[in-house]
Structure 1
Amino acid sequence: MTAFSEQLKAHTAAAHQHAEDAGFVTELLAGRLDRGQVGALLLQNLIIYRALEEALAANQDPRLQAFADPALARVPALEQDLQVHFGAGWESLPAEANLYVTPGARAYADQLAAMGPGSLAYLLAHHYVRYLGDLSGGQIISTLVQRHYGLGPEGLNFYAFDGVGKLKAYKDAYRQRLDDVELSGSERADVLAHAATAFETNRQVFVDLMAHRLGSGIPS
């Protein structure tokens, strides 16, 4: 029988590629935007991770708690980064200079905030997509935006996981936990479905960022 972590990887491959091909991502990583757009992306992540980490903390299913690790928490790192990009007191500033929250990020955060006690499959799927993505492709993003936009690591704490040790070993152990978690057949199916949808949800954030960049009038 195929390991659950391998099922997840295979099931989400197309959605993952679709998200990576979003115009904002390709433009950002090619160095064709500006450093302000890095700050804009980090702001969307803060809105999402505040909601995600609150939902994870509120769900006491022991199967989900097995994935809980304070070293993964991203909110404090993102708050540090946004102070670097926008200055102290940035949350009270008007929504100019890339301080806009996209409709996609708002909708994602609202969806996470609505999760109740029976949301194991949904939260496990989003935990997998978000954190394993940050530990993997997020490291490439950090390297490229530093290269293209003259940023230092002090403004990219979001991508630094100093508390997890060697990234490959940590990711291998994470995948092993996925393989070991006790889920019913219907729960596994739900995790697979939610994980694929999570990539599409993230892609919408990128689409909104590019639309705002091109002056489509997305409200801030």
Structure 2
Amino acid sequence: MTRLSTVLRTSTAQAHEDAERSPFMTRLLAGDGIPADFSALTAQLYPVYAALEAALDRFASHPVVAAVHDPALARTDRLASDLAELYGPTWAARRADGSIPTLPATAVYVDRLIRLDRPEALVAHHYVRYLGDLSGGQIVARLVARHYGVPAEALSFYRFEAIPKRKAYKDAYRARLDALALDDRTRALVVATAIEAFGLNRAVFTDLETARHRRPLHVA
């Protein structure tokens, strides 16, 4: 049987590429955006990770989730720290009153995570977000620092000090995925959910692109 990590990589390749090449991310990483674009992206990631990590807490004792769950990956508190740097100490109040909005696609993404009732589906979301953070996320951090002067203090989300050897960690992560004892139907669920997760991310990027044409979305 083909390894699950291989099936995930090949089956999600198009959805992954579609998300990466969205107009918003293409513009941001090319240096054709403005600093507020990065702030807006960070503001959308916060509720996503809050929901994702709440789901991980709910399913932490399930063996499938336990195989990949690692506190060293937790990002919610880091996003909060970054938002404080980007928006100042009133960022949480501004989120609460809607002046830093949760975009519609982000709300849909969060709702999907809140409603997850299969731990195997949660593993798919875990794979898409955290392996992306350890890979392409590192490129994002470098490029926004270079293009927009984003300070290191606002990029803690992208730092994994407890994981100094990212390639070795990712290899071990994929090995843990491959060791999961899943039947064909459950493997198909994981793959389908991973494809959906990339689509959810792409929808957030689409909303961010739409919102940037209605400036000000929110001002850092």
TM-score with structure 2 length normalisation?
Answer: 0.93
Alignment of 1:131-170 (within 5 A): 131-170=130-169
Q: Kindly state the Cα deviation for residue 217 of structure 1 after the two structures are TM-superposed.
A: 10
For residue 161 of structure 1, give the secondary structure of its aligned residue in structure 2.
coil
Per-residue deviation, residues 142-167 of structure 1 (Å, max 9, x unmatched)? 00000000112210111111112211
Alignment of 1:34-183 (within 5 A): 34-59=34-59, 60-93=61-94, 94-96=97-99, 99-116=100-117, 119-183=118-182
- Which amino acid in 2 is paired with 1:27? R
Determine if contact 2:104/2:207 at 8 Å carries over to the other structure. Answer: yes
CA, structure 1 residues 103+21, in 2 after alignment: closer, same or farther (shift >3 Å)? same
Let me know the Cα RMSD of the aligned residues: 1.7
Determine if contact 2:64/2:120 at 8 Å carries over to the other structure. Answer: no
CA distance in 2, matches of 1:164, 1:182: 26
CA distance in 2, matches of 1:112, 1:2: 28
- Which amino acid in 2 is paired with 1:125? A
Which residue of 1 is the match for residue 33 of structure 2? 33
Per-residue deviation, residues 2-32 of structure 1 (Å, max 9, x unmatched)? 2211110000000001111111000000111
Deviates more, 1:167-176 or 1:1-10: 1-10
Q: Kindly state the Cα deviation for residue 39 of structure 1 after the two structures are TM-superposed.
A: 1.0
- Which amino acid in 1 is paired with 2:160? F
Identity %: 45
Q: Kindly state the Cα deviation for residue 89 of structure 1 after the two structures are TM-superposed.
A: 2.2
CA, structure 1 residues 21+63, in 2 after alignment: closer, same or farther (shift >3 Å)? same
CA distance in 2, matches of 1:8, 1:87: 39
- Which amino acid in 2 is paired with 1:104? A
CA distance in 1, matches of 2:119, 2:28: 33
Which residue of 2 is the match for residue 212 of structure 1? 211
Moved over 6 A (4+): none
For residue 164 of structure 1, give the secondary structure of its aligned residue in structure 2.
coil
CA distance in 2, matches of 1:183, 1:22: 33
Q: Kindly state the Cα deviation for residue 63 of structure 1 after the two structures are TM-superposed.
A: 1.5
CA distance in 2, matches of 1:86, 1:16: 30
CA distance in 2, matches of 1:204, 1:161: 26
CA, structure 1 residues 217+78, in 2 after alignment: closer, same or farther (shift >3 Å)? closer
CA distance in 2, matches of 1:9, 1:122: 16
For residue 89 of structure 2, give the secondary structure of its aligned residue in structure 1.
coil
Structure 2 gap ranges (5+): none
Per-residue deviation, residues 49-95 of structure 1 (Å, max 9, x unmatched)? 00000011101311111211110000011000000000012111254
| Count of paired positions | 215
CA distance in 1, matches of 2:122, 2:160: 21
